[in-house]
Structure 1
Amino acid sequence: MSNTHSYGPSCLLAQENTTDEEAIPKLHTGWFYSSPLPIDDPLSAAPPTGSESLRHPSRPFSPLDNSTIEKAWLECEHGKEAAEIPVGVARLHVVQLPKLLMSPIYWSPVHDIAAVIRGTWFYRDTLLPIEPTVANQLEVGYQELHPWSQTWNDEVNSAIEVGAAGEEKITHVLWPPEAKKGKQRQVGMHNTDPKYAAKHFYREAAMEGSLNSEPAAESNISTRKYATSHVIYVDTRAAFILKPTLQPSEYFGRRPLQEIKRGRTVGIPVIRGFSWKTWDKLNPSKKTKPATKAEEQAPRTGVAEAAKLDICKACRPSEERPEVKDLVLVIHGIGQKLSERVEAFHFTHAINSFRRAVNVELNSKVLKTVLRDGLSGIMVLPVNWRSSLSFEEGGPMEEGDKGHGDFSLRDITPLTIPAVRSLISDVMLDIPFYMSHHKPKMIEAVISEANRVYRLWTQNNPKFHEGGGRVHLIAHSLGSAMAMEVLSKQPVDVPCLSLQGHLNRSCFDFKTTNLFFAGSPAGFFLLLDKANLVPRKGLKKIGAEDDHDERVTQDAGKLGCLAVDNIYNIIAANDPIAYRLNSTVDTRYSLTLKDARVPSSTVGIFASLGNAIKSVTPGVVAPSELPIGQVAKTPMNARLPSQVEMAVHDFTREELAEKKFMLLNDNGQIDWFLSSGGGPLEFQYWDMLGAHSSYWKNPDFLRMVVIEIGRRPGKHYALPNMIAVKKPGHR
């Protein structure tokens, strides 16, 4: 496929010229958004904490998005009051018309609501849109003077011959005097309210969304930009805004039009209509090679309509990529209440960065050797269940409690050390809340938010089910305990999703394929309930042979009997909240397994696959102990057990335990440890402060998630370096 734009009739970047003297030339609008992040850049950094979108640079939508938004905007002229247009590479944001605001689709806005601008006139040297009020005044003069006509061209040439006096006559006052508003002020061109301007002067009106809920005050002479300026329209597209000291003057002998015709720049040069060809020249791509490849690998969604458009190939790369088949929902743990006051702690920012890192990882040549054919991308979305919950009411009031005091957490909190108490309330109290009568409320919040996000996803990607789309969960901290609670009651066969029905609050609307625990206290909650991790009966897991064996499986309803194909429990070495899960399956068998380490992304994990990169074997030696570039040797077979050991060994019990582990995870184990920094300078008690929140930035964790989701399913396709290894003396 050619990446070169044709700029012809089928190209969205093309310009059209009119030959009709009387007809107003077609206006090529340019749609921009004011945002801290370019929505088409998968390597964008996390947004700053500022909340005023208009302070951020204006960025153009892609040619395809620009065309789609403009089409929807013009349809509003014919009675369609509102529309929502998905935009961006992965269709994660939506433009609201006629509000002219852009917001995320799948999560609550976190200072990332952006004002949208419909540009009509642009600064020539940057091609950024001119302020709508000024652009509309330029358009008024343009339509009044007809600078596209031969008549106007003759007047310009005549003015140059006459001199300064002639140039004075063809200048146009940008802002008409207050006493002479006349008809111009009745057509709404001075008003940037979308509905008002749309009604009177729709197709040529420049517009801009506002983040302020209160209506803007009527513009006046003191707040207008270029309030005392005049305009000279040179030709069909070009014009110059002149301040008083640059305007034509016979008295001072100023002749700006003559200078302009000689190729000099006088005043502020502006042009009518947006040109993608010019934009590409003024703003050449600064993306690095990894960024470009990551954007190519970014999941493309919601492109069915784009495929129907008769446009050049360079304008529509998105529909060339298959629909996303793997959706990852990430459930956060404790501490998200703190993010309402401290922006840096917001879970959404972490997951947005994690999603961008996934795009980069998928582009790795090494990983492509083990990822399954047809993997079209992995979409990662946050499940912000905590934001809608409040426990300040202290719980439901029972009939017998009416004689007792009605108080909340705020009432019983002393005023001393407020910063520390507030930190504890926002972070640590989620755990005791979960262990109280609030638990059902929290579980319901997780289910509702996950189903809400999933429902939106299926609405925007209707082919997800038809193409065999899979859903995976990553649950962090307390979120893992809640995910375990939900999936223990989750039915094996999920009812068909009805997008018109009420939001399901009792179970997930999807089947979970892979479940990743990160920094999980799930083992502790299983201990409290005296429960075990047990494979679910009848899951129909690929490659499973014993999923109906009642000796190793159970039905829904028992805590720890999860409706998932694979469970992964990833533990940061110094994370004080994380607990093991291997022992909750079978204590004796788990003692025979070596501690498995997540293979290092810097050392590599594919030595067994043609030595694509160097690797280590989990449990044999820590990745940090193996020099980079050295291949770990296959461990020697342990000595054979003696006849006495053989006589007392319970092989039947061990066989059943091994079957359980294989049903719970294709690799025959559940726990993996992330390597710490190690070395003599490591201080565990200092490292533990950040260990619990470090998973999203850990490259080893990232790579493991991508590989286990992206590889072919089934135990026969488990990577050798991920398979469980037994300690010496055990077989």
Structure 2
Amino acid sequence: MYLRPLVRVVFVQKCFLSTAAGGSVSKGPTLWYHASDVPLTKPYDSKYKPSKPAEKFVKFSASDCRRLEGAFQKWSKSQKETKELTSVPVNEDFLFEVNIPKMVLKPTYWRGPTYEVRRGIWMNANNNPLAYELTAEIERFYAKMDSSLEGDKEQEKQDLFRFTQPYGKHRMVLFVDKTTAYLLPDLKGGELQLKLLRTNLIPPMGDKITRGSSSNHLTDAAASAKRTIENEIQGTTKQLGKLSDLISWELPSVFGMPDSKDSTKGNDDDSDVFKREIETDYDNDATTPQRDVKHLVLCVHGIGQNLGKKYEYVNFAHTVNILRTNMKKLYMESGKLQKMNRGDGSSDWRENCNVQVLPISWRHTVGFQTDATQPNKENPELPPLGDITLNGVLGLRRLLGDIALDILLYGEPYYRKRILDEVKKHLNDTYNLFKERNPGFGGEVHLIGHSLGSLILFDILCEQDDFKLDFDVKNFYSIGSPTGVFKLIQRTKIGSKQDEPEETSTSFQKPKCENLYNLFHVCDPISYRMEPLVELSMAQYQAANISHWSAGDGIASRVLEFGGSILKDIPGTAIKGQKPGNGKTMLPVDVVEKLTKLNRTGRIDYMLPPGFLEVDIIAAAKAHVSYFEEPDIAGFILKEILAKNHGNHDVIVTKLNRSSDA
């Protein structure tokens, strides 16, 4: 994927290098571009307005350009009659769409910044396309100029035109030939100045523009492509901003600690944050922009998304992009994963994992503002949060207000129902939109919930009569989840839909999914286990380990356990007949039967062991927010999605050392 700028250069050459005898550029596919440095709008910020015009534009892929131009021509002919809004899906996996009448690029499945779109008809000195309205007017004048050149030789040739409105400092356009023109201010020297301009006796006082692209532009583009390749060679995921970096530059200041080496990341200009995302998160030059998808994964965020109003770095869509990128990267490196996927009959099984991952952002639609200065819009008779917040350790209080209050909201019946309704609606809307955009999709749907999001999904899956989903759930991955402690407080056990009712004083919740996974980092202070809520005896056994990723061998068969021992199997997926040893034991058959009703592997709890010296508060906070950045998590989820159902098997577990915190 690091050669994609070079692909763009080759495409430009195909389109514009060949010239006709008269020197005009040959007719080739029209290139389309979108801005990447200055958004037109920002999510959740209705007051935002661009402070300057966009200056950085990125070309769409060849196939996107063809479809965009076709839709544009069709819309141009019919708009006066039907005024039909034309939306064209674009970019990797068609995750974005272009509104042709508005010339705007926006995400398809989530709320995000929107960007200006331009057709590459007339280019400025930086090889950027001119704005749509300016281009349209120049093209009208160009047609008049062209027809005058083809007319009677005695007729005066028309090459200067005044715009119907000013475009910045530009008031008119002077055509030099069929490929070159100048944007000019008002001519103070009158006809004499104009004659001098036409004869090139005085330097141009305007800005040169070119129809199509020149060889000099191609040289510049090739050099730019080379620089981009060199910058990207370090690896895509290293360029992606990580949510865990927020902890490095925000939390130390709250507690009065020295800033870490990453502290400058919080000072990025907002537009730079979005620019880095839209330029690095997606591979938009794939030959086939839309992959065949057999597994749709919907990810629900947890606490803290209100921070996105203050720090655009806290961007759940971007976080999910990292997970999607990691999955694709690991799949390309793993012959084992490819082999697991080969049997499904896909022709592109070597490079396509057939998994699509989309974000579900719900917090901003629930209400209850945590902004200190915002009035209470829902209940004007009540004060805003800032009016009851103490001034002591104000930074910490505000941080907790943006994060911890989400949990308090979920504990209040009014907001709990509101949250469940909103998340259910977002899930169904995203699923149905995906089906609409992918009419051939008939595959499986999986859910990932992080933090509070996992508790929300757990309750939705257990309360399908009230919060009905439009799809069945194959795998539910609960990540960094407090579900265990919530259910303990609620005196609730976890069971399977297949279980017979029991006479007990405790209540049961039974999530409607085929496989339930509870993934956590052992240093995560928010996470709790679930298996003891299914079967009390599981409290004496360690959680299964999540395998470490090995680039040379896919998902490695060796993992470093928290105790320091090296296991010789992938925990939780033991082979039938394997003999236990070294402190291991086989689970009783009746316990295995209980667990396999909730997960085909016979395990529910899976843990990431800590790195060395990960014991301070910064490491603990990072552990909770970094799951989507972990290749081990991406590899585990992908492996379990592609794995086929196992039959009955023995489950080997490790006795828990009560002196440890594992």
Using the size of structure 1 for normalisation, the TM-score is 0.64
CA contact (8 A) 1:33 1:114 kept: yes
Q: What residue is the counterpart of 1:506 in the other structure?
A: 467
How far apart in 1 are the matches of 2:208 and 2:150?
22
CA positional deviation for 1:281:
8.4
CA positional deviation for 1:560:
3.0
2:482 maps to which of 521, 524, 546: 521
CA contact (8 A) 1:622 1:675 kept: no
Q: What residue is the counterpart of 1:105 in the other structure?
A: 108
Find the residue that maps to 1:361 and give its secondary structure.
helix
Amino acid at match of 1:270: I
CA positional deviation for 1:431:
1.3
Amino acid at match of 1:58: F
Q: What residue is the counterpart of 1:691 in the other structure?
A: 623
Q: What residue is the counterpart of 1:354 in the other structure?
A: 323
2:533 maps to 1:584: yes
Q: Deviations over 1:465-493 (max 9, x none)?
A: 2xxx11111111111111111111237xx
Amino acid at match of 2:293: V
Q: Equivalences for 1:449-460 in 2 at 5 Å?
A: 449-460=426-437
CA positional deviation for 1:170:
6.7
How far apart in 2 are the matches of 1:563 and 1:534?
10
Find the residue that maps to 1:231 and give its secondary structure.
strand
How far apart in 2 are the matches of 1:352 and 1:481?
22
Find the residue that maps to 2:477 and give its secondary structure.
strand
Cα 1:396/1:28, change in 2 over 3 Å: closer
How far apart in 1 are the matches of 2:215 and 2:539?
62
Query: Gapped runs of 5+ residues in structure 1?
Result: 39-48, 157-168, 177-188, 192-218, 296-314, 398-404, 492-504, 538-548, 607-611, 627-633, 642-648
Q: What residue is the counterpart of 2:209 in the other structure?
A: 270
Amino acid at match of 1:702: A
CA contact (8 A) 1:331 1:382 kept: yes
Q: What residue is the counterpart of 1:130 in the other structure?
A: 130
Cα 1:277/1:475, change in 2 over 3 Å: farther
Q: Deviations over 1:109-145 (max 9, x none)?
A: 2xx210112342123x653213456545543543333
Q: What residue is the counterpart of 1:60 in the other structure?
A: 59
How far apart in 2 are the matches of 1:37 and 1:318?
28
CA contact (8 A) 1:533 1:560 kept: yes
How far apart in 1 are the matches of 2:196 and 2:567?
78
2:9 maps to 1:35: no
CA positional deviation for 1:57:
0.9
Cα 1:279/1:53, change in 2 over 3 Å: farther
Q: Equivalences for 1:70-85 in 2 at 5 Å?
A: 70-77=69-76, 78=78, 79-81=81-83, 82-85=85-88
Amino acid at match of 2:624: H
1:534 maps to which of 484, 492, 495: 495
Find the residue that maps to 1:483 and give its secondary structure.
helix
2:385 maps to 1:410: yes
Q: How many residues align?
A: 564
How far apart in 1 are the matches of 2:473 and 2:29?
47
2:456 maps to 1:482: yes
Q: What residue is the counterpart of 1:224 in the other structure?
A: 169
CA contact (8 A) 1:13 1:275 kept: no
Q: Equivalences for 1:120-269 in 2 at 5 Å?
A: 120-123=121-124, 126-132=126-132, 135-136=135-136, 138-146=138-146, 149=149, 172-173=159-160, 176=162, 190=164, 219=166, 223-225=168-170, 227=171, 231-234=174-177, 236-239=178-181, 269=208
CA contact (8 A) 2:38 2:54 kept: no
Amino acid at match of 1:670: I
How far apart in 2 are the matches of 1:622 and 1:53?
56
CA positional deviation for 1:339:
1.7
CA contact (8 A) 1:34 1:114 kept: yes
2:582 maps to 1:654: no
CA contact (8 A) 1:147 1:233 kept: no
CA contact (8 A) 1:598 1:618 kept: no
2:607 maps to which of 661, 673, 684: 673
CA contact (8 A) 2:173 2:184 kept: yes
Q: What residue is the counterpart of 1:595 in the other structure?
A: 543
How far apart in 1 are the matches of 2:449 and 2:154?
71
How far apart in 1 are the matches of 2:201 and 2:185?
15
How far apart in 2 are the matches of 1:702 and 1:51?
36
Q: Equivalences for 1:547-558 in 2 at 5 Å?
A: 550=500
CA contact (8 A) 2:19 2:25 kept: no
CA contact (8 A) 2:169 2:185 kept: no
CA positional deviation for 1:689:
2.4
CA contact (8 A) 2:308 2:315 kept: yes
Q: Deviations over 1:530-550 (max 9, x none)?
A: 22221222xxxxxxxxxxx74
Q: What residue is the counterpart of 1:664 in the other structure?
A: 598
Q: Deviations over 1:39-95 (max 9, x none)?
A: xxxxxxxxxx99668435111222222222222223333223222211112111111
Cα 1:414/1:529, change in 2 over 3 Å: closer
1:447 maps to which of 424, 432, 438: 424
Larger Rg: 1
Q: Deviations over 1:245-268 (max 9, x none)?
A: 9x99999997875899xxx99986
CA contact (8 A) 1:243 1:267 kept: yes
CA contact (8 A) 1:385 1:449 kept: yes
Q: What residue is the counterpart of 1:433 in the other structure?
A: 409
2:644 maps to 1:713: yes
Cα 1:239/1:439, change in 2 over 3 Å: closer
How far apart in 2 are the matches of 1:292 and 1:80?
50
CA positional deviation for 1:615:
3.0
Cα 1:257/1:334, change in 2 over 3 Å: same
CA contact (8 A) 2:148 2:157 kept: no
Percent of pairs with identical residues: 23
CA contact (8 A) 1:485 1:559 kept: no
How far apart in 1 are the matches of 2:102 and 2:195?
48
CA positional deviation for 1:637:
4.2
Find the residue that maps to 1:382 and give its secondary structure.
strand
How far apart in 1 are the matches of 2:193 and 2:480?
79
Cα 1:249/1:290, change in 2 over 3 Å: closer
Cα 1:683/1:173, change in 2 over 3 Å: same
CA contact (8 A) 1:248 1:254 kept: no
How far apart in 2 are the matches of 1:613 and 1:347?
26
1:341 maps to which of 293, 310, 321: 310
CA contact (8 A) 2:103 2:116 kept: yes
Q: Deviations over 1:329-384 (max 9, x none)?
A: 11111111222222222322212232222222222134535532135432111111
How far apart in 1 are the matches of 2:213 and 2:513?
52
Amino acid at match of 1:676: P
CA contact (8 A) 1:15 1:28 kept: no
How far apart in 1 are the matches of 2:36 and 2:137?
26
Amino acid at match of 1:86: P
CA contact (8 A) 1:18 1:26 kept: no
How far apart in 1 are the matches of 2:494 and 2:218?
58
2:29 maps to 1:87: no
Query: Gapped runs of 5+ residues in structure 2?
Result: 40-47, 238-284, 370-374, 569-576, 658-662
2:633 maps to which of 701, 716, 719: 701
Find the residue that maps to 1:574 and give its secondary structure.
coil
Cα 1:267/1:534, change in 2 over 3 Å: same
CA contact (8 A) 1:515 1:568 kept: yes
How far apart in 2 are the matches of 1:372 and 1:636?
30
Amino acid at match of 1:317: T
Amino acid at match of 1:578: S
CA contact (8 A) 1:13 1:276 kept: no
2:400 maps to which of 424, 436, 441: 424
2:558 maps to which of 616, 639, 654: 616
Find the residue that maps to 2:590 and give its secondary structure.
helix
RMSD: 5.2
CA contact (8 A) 1:294 1:359 kept: no
Amino acid at match of 1:339: G
Find the residue that maps to 1:344 and give its secondary structure.
coil
Cα 1:146/1:346, change in 2 over 3 Å: closer
